[in-house]
């Protein structure tokens, strides 16, 4: 008997693109923000640059959720980089 191949959707198999998330530090006023790129979500805000850079480097190195983005409940602030805070 001949083995049956499993059906695959041509679109999903052809365009299997993963998004690489990157984290960088942005200086805004007296605060330092760790920003997730390309979503531009603010992960956390710090008072000094060294703490922000340390968190950014740690997230890049360890990748707690693999290649996926950080979930919203882990992010410290509930606003987007393009939105105004006040």
> Would you list the domain boundaries of the chain?
19-62
pLDDT of residue 86: 46
What residues in the chain have per-residue pLDDT under 50? 86
Count H helices and E strands in the chain, helices first.
2, 3
Q: Which residue has the tokens 């984290």?
A: 23
Write the DSSP symbol of residue 74: T
In order, the DSSP letters of 52-72 are HHHHHHHHHHH-TTTTSPPPT
Q: What CA–CA distance (Å, rounded) separates 66 from 29?
A: 32
Is the Cα torsion angle 58, 61, 64, 67 positive or negative in sign? positive
pTM (two decimals): 0.67
The per-residue pLDDT for 7 is 59
């Amino acid at each position: 008997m001949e083995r049956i191949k499993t059906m695959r959707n041509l679109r999903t198999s052809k365009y299997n693109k993963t998004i690489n998330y990157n984290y960088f530090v942005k200086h805004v006023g007296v605060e330092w923000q760790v920003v997730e790129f390309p979503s531009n979500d603010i992960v956390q805000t710090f008072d000094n640059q060294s703490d922000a850079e340390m968190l950014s480097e740690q997230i890049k190195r360890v990748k707690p959720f693999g290649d996926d983005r950080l979930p919203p409940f882990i992010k410290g602030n509930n606003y987007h980089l393009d939105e105004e805070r006040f």
